Structure 1
Amino acid sequence: MDERERAALVAAANAQARGTIADALHLEITDAGYDFAEGRMPVAGNTQPAGLFHGGAHVVLAESLGSTHAFALAGGPVVGVDLNATHIRGARCGYVHGRAEVLHRGRTLMSHEVKMRDDEGRLLSIVRITNMVLERG
């Protein structure tokens, strides 16, 4: 995937997210390629009562990255069928950055591992998501 294709994929993913939970939480897809997707979400406005980035926000970021990438690979709609999250460290400020990488790319199922880090690169959470391909483009 060349730079132009990557930029088009990022622009399309961000446009498609308008009016969704990703938009409400200010999630932004920042880069994508053949075997990965990256994005970020601000901590501010996405915290739990103790002031830490909400575990559910980690899951939204991870599912958005994994599903967006699976959709791009499949060329058609996908739905999440399994997700597992392990939260390792909290974040109180800045951005949470996620990178989804393909673990398995099958005809009907695709799995990604999504690692989320803070602005200093410290690991915050690891999520595994599996999507089912509904139809291929």
Structure 2
Amino acid sequence: MQEYKEKILQVCNSVRKNTLMETLDIEYTDVGENFLVARMPVVPKVYQPDGILHGGATVALAESVASAASFVFLDAAKVSVRGIEIAANHVKSIREGYVYATASLLHKGRTTQLWQIRVANEADELISMCKLTTIAIAK
């Protein structure tokens, strides 16, 4: 199982080059039976003007991890996955450290999927709760 887990993380991290994930330093760190985790450093390039994590950067992290999870948990050889709606509730600010986003599958339909993405700080305090709906389109 550990070897399989490492292979999935290696693949997820290998496709970051020249993407928003690379720009934001998003790194995939853990995967399990029904979840994928990514982290992002909270540094000035992801701040809003008053020096806290920008909600848009948080949403980019959330969509990135849930979209990657779609490819892990759906048959990526047969379908293309696209995000069709994302919503976020930001409940706590953060100025430094890392935020960790955990994408969990709430609904796995043949066409649409619903993901919950919990974004927390290093002390596991909730920063944002996001929801992403994806659509699987036959290739």
TM-score (norm 1): 0.94
Encode CA deviations 1:22-50: one digit per residue, 9 max, x unaligned. Answer: 11000001011230000100000211111
Question: Residue 98 of structure 1 is aligned with which of 96, 101, 116?
Answer: 101
Q: Could you say what the CA RMSD is over the residues aligned between the two structures, in angstroms? A: 1.1
- SS state of the match for residue 103, structure 1? strand
| Alpha-carbon distance in structure 2 between the residues aligned to 1:36 and 1:98 | 10
Encode CA deviations 1:52-111: one digit per residue, 9 max, x unaligned. Answer: 111011111100111101111222220001111000010000001111111001111111
| Alpha-carbon distance in structure 2 between the residues aligned to 1:113 and 1:54 | 20
- 1:117 matched to 2:116? The reply is no
Equivalent residue runs for 1:1-137 within 5 Å: 2-44=1-43, 45-76=45-76, 77-135=80-138
- SS state of the match for residue 65, structure 1? helix
In percent, how many aligned pairs have the same letter? 32
Size of the aligned set, in residue pairs, is 135
What is the letter of the counterpart of residue 67 of structure 1? S
| Alpha-carbon distance in structure 1 between the residues aligned to 2:2 and 2:112 | 27
| Alpha-carbon distance in structure 2 between the residues aligned to 1:103 and 1:35 | 9
Q: 4+ residue stretches of structure 1 with deviation over 3 A?
A: none
Structure 1: gaps spanning 5 or more residues: none
- SS state of the match for residue 22, structure 2? helix
| Alpha-carbon distance in structure 2 between the residues aligned to 1:83 and 1:106 | 17
